């Protein structure tokens, strides 16, 4: 196909140079979005009299045929046509002839590609939320199923205080709720239309940009044509939100790796989500958790790559901005793939409740409650802290634990200890005394589950509403 811009130039270009400048190897992923935007543009051109209605109808009919071929996998994209826009226009020309050239009336590839990317990110945002919700629901289900399981909570990866395993899992469910909320907030900056801005300064044709916005289910239009064609903030925001979500998944995967080790043994991953060793037949490796952890760095890289690309660009469009797509596409695929595999690990792991409880019981996780016990009987907390610290050292030196000491031994450290200390130090009581909102007690955890379930319903309603509102077919 003759290049759209070929009139100014003579001669041909070396194939290696052509390949270097072309984007069709990756932006073919925008094909369906490019066709959707073009159908709306052609419809508007016909309605406003920029082209004849019968010409607009012919273009729309031709684009629908091209889309059918795309969906059947019958389109082959050519390097000679540079990008997805010119490849689609070539196929349209084959369908309807020279009138296809009128599709580009009052449109530049600058505002066209910006529209394609908005449509793509809008779709990716909704799809990402679907997978975030699935991962969050898996965590909530596991939390509800294991509500009575006690494990050690950690600071500095040292046993700190006993917590409900459910409480630990719900911390990640809360993180995913914030990830979903971030994408909800991003919607209003994604769902605006750049088309109609031309190459930089708008157009002399009497366009109806709001009509195109309605056809494409955008909430509004860019108010400045230069901003419209040069803005990639919405891509950066999606990538940034993806980085935060991947960080959350990576932290959970780190815990899965630790918990499934022989030293911890808190969980066992399903065989379908583990691998073995080519040399050591006993091995069961948490490869998918490790891979998710590793892929987090690549998503970070895509964000920093585009930030670096954009930081030095004068207004408006520059060829550098062609580099916005590969990192974006990879981020979408990596995020969704990671959410899917993490949800599968959570759904299918086997929980070793006895091992978790043993670790909590043997790790002096109730030491803070022993100090609180003394403080409530009048001993200043700093002194109570020292008394219990000496108790812990006593136990370590004798390879024993607080729960195995006799009342007589305890009184040797403080006369304030009475028989009810043993009840106070039971793991169930230690956990359930944390009954304030947000605490690890059974009731606040059940309240948290109920609130998260309510939020799940709200988010499902938001998603359905926006999926229907964004539908352009």
User: Which of the residues are catalytic?
Assistant: 156, 277
- Looking only at the bridges linking them, the beta strands covering 267-268 and 350-351 are antiparallel
Q: Cβ(135)–Cβ(339) under 8 Å?
A: yes
DSSP code of residue 164? E
Pull the structure tokens for residue 69.
């071929």
Alpha carbon distance 145, 267 (integer Å): 14
> How much of the chain is in helix, strand and coil states, percent to nearest 5?
70, 5, 25
Radius of gyration of the chain, Cα coordinates, nearest whole angstrom = 30
Determine phi and psi for 293, rounding to 5 degrees: -60, -40
Alpha carbon distance 41, 60 (integer Å): 9
Alpha carbon distance 104, 179 (integer Å): 39
Alpha carbon distance 15, 419 (integer Å): 87
| Residues ≥6 apart with Cβ < 8 Å to 240 | 303
Compute how many other C-beta atoms are within 10 angstroms of the C-beta atom of residue 436. 9
Pull the structure tokens for residue 77.
């994209």
Alpha carbon distance 4, 68 (integer Å): 25
- Looking only at the bridges linking them, the beta strands covering 220-221 and 350-351 are unpaired
């Amino acid at each position: 196909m003759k290049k759209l811009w070929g009139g100014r130039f003579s001669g041909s270009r070396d194939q290696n140079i052509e390949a270097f400048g072309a984007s069709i190897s990756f932006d073919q992923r925008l094909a369906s979005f490019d066709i959707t935007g073009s159908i709306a543009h052609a419809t508007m051109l016909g309605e406003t009299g920029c082209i004849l209605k019968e010409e607009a109808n012919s273009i729309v009919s031709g684009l629908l045929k091209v889309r059918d071929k795309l969906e059947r996998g019958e389109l082959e994209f050519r390097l000679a046509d540079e990008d997805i826009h010119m490849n689609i226009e070539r196929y349209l020309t084959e369908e309807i002839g020279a009138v296809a050239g009128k599709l580009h009336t009052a449109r530049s590839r600058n505002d066209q590609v910006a529209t394609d990317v908005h449509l793509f990110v809008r779709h990716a945002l909704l799809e990402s939320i679907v997978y975030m919700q699935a991962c969050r629901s898996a965590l909530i289900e596991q939390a509800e199923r294991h509500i009575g399981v006690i494990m050690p909570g950690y600071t500095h990866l040292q046993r700190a205080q006993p917590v409900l395993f459910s409480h630990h899992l719900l911390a990640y469910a809360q993180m995913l709720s914030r990830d979903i909320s971030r994408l909800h907030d991003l919607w209003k900056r994604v769902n605006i239309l750049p088309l109609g801005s031309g190459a930089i300064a708008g157009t002399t044709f009497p366009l109806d940009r709001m009509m195109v916005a309605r056809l494409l289910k955008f909430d509004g239009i860019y108010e400045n044509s230069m901003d419209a064609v040069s803005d990639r903030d919405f891509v950066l925001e999606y990538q940034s939100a993806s980085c935060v979500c991947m960080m959350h998944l990576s932290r959970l995967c780190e815990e899965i790796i630790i918990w499934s080790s022989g030293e911890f043994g808190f969980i066992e991953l399903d065989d379908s989500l583990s691998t073995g060793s080519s040399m050591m037949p006993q091995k069961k490796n948490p490869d998918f958790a490790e891979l998710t952890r590793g892929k987090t760095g690549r998503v970070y890289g895509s964000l920093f790559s585009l930030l670096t690309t954009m930081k030095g660009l004068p207004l408006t469009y520059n060829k550098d901005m062609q580099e916005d797509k590969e990192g974006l596409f990879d981020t979408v695929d990596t995020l969704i793939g990671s959410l899917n595999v993490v949800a599968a690990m959570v759904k299918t792991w086997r929980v070793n409740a006895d091992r978790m409880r043993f670790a909590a019981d043997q790790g002096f996780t109730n030491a803070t409650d022993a100090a609180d016990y003394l403080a409530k009987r009048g001993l200043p907390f700093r002194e109570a802290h020292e008394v219990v610290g000496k108790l812990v050292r006593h136990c370590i030196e004798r390879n024993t634990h607080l729960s195995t000491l006799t009342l007589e031994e305890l009184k040797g450290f403080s006369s304030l200890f009475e028989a009810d200390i043993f009840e106070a130090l039971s793991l169930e009581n230690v956990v359930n005394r944390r009954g304030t909102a947000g605490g690890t007690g059974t009731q606040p955890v059940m309240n948290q589950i109920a609130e998260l379930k309510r939020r799940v319903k709200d988010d499902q309603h938001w998603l359905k509403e926006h999926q229907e509102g964004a539908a352009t077919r």
